Chains A and B, each alone.
Chain A
Amino acid sequence: MYLKEYINKLKTGNFLDEKKWLDQNAILETISEEIPGSGTEEWKNFRTNSIKETSWKVLVESSIKQNYLKKEQHKLPNSICFIDGHYSLEASSLRKNSDINIFSLSDYIYKNPEFKSTLFNKPSDYAENRLSGIKDKKPTYFISLNSLLSSGTVIEVEKAKNISETINIIHSFSNIDSEIVINPYIIIVCKEGSKVSFQEISQNVESWNNTFKEIFISKDSNLTFSSLQERISKGIKTSSINCHIDENAKLNLKVLNRERSKEDIRVFLNKENSIANISGIILSNNKDESDVFCKVTHKGQASKSDQKWRLISAKNSKTAINGKICVNKNAKGSDASFYSKSLLLNRKATSFSKPELEILEDDVKCKHGASFGEIDNNSVFYMQSRGIKKKDAIILLIHAFINEIGLDIEDDSELSKNLIDEFFNQINESNSLYE
């Protein structure tokens, strides 16, 4: 069914019974408007023409091939798999007694009715305040669409459990139709005192992947979440992450984004001593864009946030990071920092970085900065003079550039290392380093 047709059908009254917690009218209003593009501050670095110009279809449940999963693509143990955005028990390989529970969102809400009020349910809660006084709901277009179209899967980490082995979340796409919008919607709930680490990987999608993750980190719990993007050659990815962090709880968010992707991250430090450490790598090649909007809101006292970004643009591509820090009144003793570094590998490559502050409390510490540069010829010569080939020296320097933010890609994750190597091979093959 065509997306437009579906939206019209919902508008004329056929509301989704199982999605009663959503303010469906408000959501329909938001997604009936035009898809945000360069006119919207948060989207100005990402071309949405190709999304606007396509007549998108939505998937009908029955057409999903449950058995589709190219096992050879990633043989990752301890995994939770999603096929075209739907949880697949058959494809998953989560350890038994893993202290992790998986529910459909409607089941979870049935069991925990109070959960409704914390979920995303209406766009105005996430609207951006404009200087003109207008509350702009446009930036919530993609979460609105996702929350309406997707049934949602909840991953719950049990109370006080410390899970040592990383859990992989894998998204596979059947790519049966290049004009389908796919909406993986994952809700992660870390119960009090738990500790867990997830690594999410999206495999090559050839249509439109509109992912939405809502993450709840309860009191005293600790979540490490790595979101890794494989190269997208044909498709497009829009992705949103909302993180809600409770008292003494900590989020380590690691992001690796590639071209043809737009990520929208919202982190809410809700209580005293809520902590978020965000480190991200944004890579782009050819004529494409990779754009991230990241907004951290300090609500709790002594809450801390730290953002470190590394951007690499090759060829004619563009990378962008828009980092917004909001400190609410009474979030005393908060500490926020944002730092980005961009590396341009070619004359025509561009990068954009914009730290933005909205501080309503006096008793805060806030640091921010952005730098831009090219590969340093003196460093290359220094390495060559020690016997390292020019090409290898450049690759080493790019690795070093990324290593600085301590994603621990050397020993931590074989996968993120492979993804970065793949990017290097690609820019190396095309000799785009020397243009």
Chain B
Amino acid sequence: MLEIKNLSVSVQNKTIINSLNLKIERGKKVAIMGPNGSGKSTLSNVIAGKQGYQINDGQIFFNDINIFDLDPEERAAKGIYLAFQYPVEIPGIANSSFLRTALNSIRKYNGEKDLNTREFLEECKNLSKKLNLDTSFLSRDLNTGFSGGEKKKNEIFHMLMIKPKLCILDEIDSGLDIDALKVISDGVSEYSNENNSLLIITHYQRLLEYIKPDEVHIFNEGKIIKSGDYSLVEKLEEKGYQEFV
């Protein structure tokens, strides 16, 4: 599904991602764990297409297409989804109307016709119930005044509505209480199947206890320094990052 080849990225002439290679197969759940400042969000942003990074080398293929030729919205329409570490507050746009605009834009790109509004609202209501969100948050302004947990849940809510092929979760677990973490990981696990892939980016092992990843990579200074299966998470738990650096 996703293949990153020899990727090097810098910001203001400082190298952040350093000759990174990573492959995510269809149907797999892949975790990247790394300390703060190791370049995890930079990697997520570069995959999603954010401007302002210098790509010095390498390529990223999504289903065999080089995505550096695509705008962020085109990547989204092709099935790449990024759940933000810090979702942006946008006052003046209702959450549900934003989501409907997004979905219709993706549908238009893929040659499908607009959503049926009633079905859309029905699905919104069902999902918000599942995520333990009050239905009022549909009409509230996008992320505006949402608590930390609500913002993260909203990212998952958007994801479940958009139904992407590749879900990148950038520290979806930071700042969540146990209940919210459980609700979110249940939602993600339920969504995960043999046709989509997950890239779970995190600092802690907590989330990975709920969503058991198939592959785990330890990431530092823009590089993968160790790869393995779930047992690596447990090792990291015991010994901390210092052991691997």
How many angstroms from the CA of A379 to the CA of B71 in the assembled complex?
Answer: 15
B106: A residues at CB distance < 8 A: 387
In chain A, what residue has the closest Cβ to B76?
A387
A-facing mask of B83-98, CB < 8 A → 1, else 0?
Answer: 0100110111100001
Q: Does A385 contact B92, Cβ atoms closer than 8 Å?
A: no
Q: Does A397 contact B162, Cβ atoms closer than 8 Å?
A: no
Segment among A200-208, A299-307, A400-408 that sits at the interface with chain B: A400-408
Given contacts A384-B49, A386-B76, A390-B73, contact A379 B90 (CB under 8 A): yes
How many angstroms from the CA of A396 to the CA of B104 in the assembled complex?
Answer: 14
How near does chain A come to B50, taking the closest CB pair, in angstroms? Answer: 5
Q: Does A387 contact B162, Cβ atoms closer than 8 Å?
A: yes
A-B interface pairs (CB < 8 A), number: 77
Q: Does B73 contact A378, Cβ atoms closer than 8 Å?
A: no
How near does chain A come to B74, taking the closest CB pair, in angstroms? Answer: 9
Q: Which of B89-141 contact A (CB under 8 A)?
A: 90-93, 98-99, 101-103, 105-106, 109, 141
Tell me whether chain A's interface is mostly helix, strand or loop, or mixed.
Answer: helix
B98: A residues at CB distance < 8 A: 383, 386, 396
Q: Does B92 contact A404, Cβ atoms closer than 8 Å?
A: yes
Q: Which of B17-35 contact A (CB under 8 A)?
A: none
Task: State whether the Cβ of B242 lies closer than 8 Å to any Cβ in chain A.
Answer: no
Task: State whether the Cβ of B158 lies closer than 8 Å to any Cβ in chain A.
Answer: yes
How many angstroms from the CA of A383 to the CA of B103 in the assembled complex?
Answer: 11
Task: State whether the Cβ of B231 lies closer than 8 Å to any Cβ in chain A.
Answer: no
Given contacts A381-B50, A381-B51, A383-B102, contact A388 B73 (CB under 8 A): yes
Q: Does A387 contact B109, Cβ atoms closer than 8 Å?
A: yes
Q: Does A386 contact B158, Cβ atoms closer than 8 Å?
A: yes
Given contacts A379-B88, A403-B93, contact A385 B105 (CB under 8 A): no
Task: State whether the Cβ of B39 lies closer than 8 Å to any Cβ in chain A.
Answer: no
Task: State whether the Cβ of B82 lies closer than 8 Å to any Cβ in chain A.
Answer: yes
Q: Does B162 contact A382, Cβ atoms closer than 8 Å?
A: no
A399: B residues at CB distance < 8 A: 92-93
Given contacts A388-B105, A402-B92, contact A382 B73 (CB under 8 A): no
Task: State whether the Cβ of A389 lies closer than 8 Å to any Cβ in chain B.
Answer: yes
With a 10 A CB-CB cut-off, give which of A384, A389, A401 has the most chain B CB atoms: A384
Task: State whether the Cβ of A392 lies closer than 8 Å to any Cβ in chain B.
Answer: yes
Q: Does A382 contact B101, Cβ atoms closer than 8 Å?
A: no
How many angstroms from the CA of A389 to the CA of B74 in the assembled complex?
Answer: 8
Given contacts A384-B76, A385-B48, contact A390 B88 (CB under 8 A): no
How many angstroms from the CA of A387 to the CA of B82 in the assembled complex?
Answer: 11
Given contacts A387-B105, A396-B101, contact A378 B88 (CB under 8 A): yes
B105: A residues at CB distance < 8 A: 387-389, 392
Task: State whether the Cβ of B224 lies closer than 8 Å to any Cβ in chain A.
Answer: no
Q: Does A400 contact B51, Cβ atoms closer than 8 Å?
A: no
B84: A residues at CB distance < 8 A: 382, 385
Given contacts A389-B105, A392-B105, A396-B101, contact A384 B92 (CB under 8 A): no
Task: State whether the Cβ of B77 lies closer than 8 Å to any Cβ in chain A.
Answer: yes
Task: Please tell me which one of the listed residues B51, B88, B103 contacts residue A387 in the complex, with CB atoms under 8 A apart.
Answer: B103
How many angstroms from the CA of A382 to the CA of B141 in the assembled complex?
Answer: 15
How many angstroms from the CA of A381 to the CA of B175 in the assembled complex?
Answer: 23
B187: A residues at CB distance < 8 A: none
B-facing mask of A386-427, CB < 8 A → 1, else 0?
Answer: 111110100011011111100000000000000000000000
Given contacts A384-B71, A385-B48, A387-B106, contact A400 B91 (CB under 8 A): yes
How near does chain A come to B19, taking the closest CB pair, in angstroms? Answer: 25
Q: Does A397 contact B90, Cβ atoms closer than 8 Å?
A: yes
Task: Please tell me which one of the listed residues A377, A382, A384 contacts residue B90 in the complex, with CB atoms under 8 A apart.
Answer: A382
A376: B residues at CB distance < 8 A: 88
Task: Please tell me which one of the listed residues A382, A388, A389, A392 contacts residue B88 in the complex, with CB atoms under 8 A apart.
Answer: A382
How near does chain B come to A409, taking the closest CB pair, in angstroms? Answer: 11
Given contacts A381-B72, A382-B84, A382-B87, contact A388 B101 (CB under 8 A): yes
Q: Does B93 contact A396, Cβ atoms closer than 8 Å?
A: yes
With a 10 A CB-CB cut-off, give which of A399, A400, A403, A404 has the most chain B CB atoms: A400
How many angstroms from the CA of A127 to the CA of B84 in the assembled complex?
Answer: 55
How many angstroms from the CA of A402 to the CA of B93 in the assembled complex?
Answer: 10
How near does chain A come to B189, taking the closest CB pair, in angstroms? Answer: 22
25 residue pairs from A and B, CB less than 8 Å apart: A377-B51, A379-B88, A381-B45, A381-B51, A382-B90, A384-B49, A384-B76, A385-B50, A385-B75, A385-B82, A386-B98, A386-B99, A387-B73, A387-B105, A387-B109, A388-B101, A388-B102, A389-B71, A389-B105, A390-B73, A396-B93, A396-B98, A400-B92, A400-B93, A402-B92
User: What 15 new A-B contacts, CB under 8 Å, besides A387-B106, A403-B92?
Assistant: A377-B51, A379-B88, A379-B90, A381-B45, A381-B49, A381-B72, A382-B90, A385-B49, A385-B73, A385-B84, A387-B102, A387-B109, A389-B105, A390-B71, A400-B93
* The 8 residue pairs across chains A and B that have the minimum distance between CB atoms: A400-B92, A384-B72, A387-B106, A386-B102, A387-B76, A403-B92, A382-B88, A404-B92
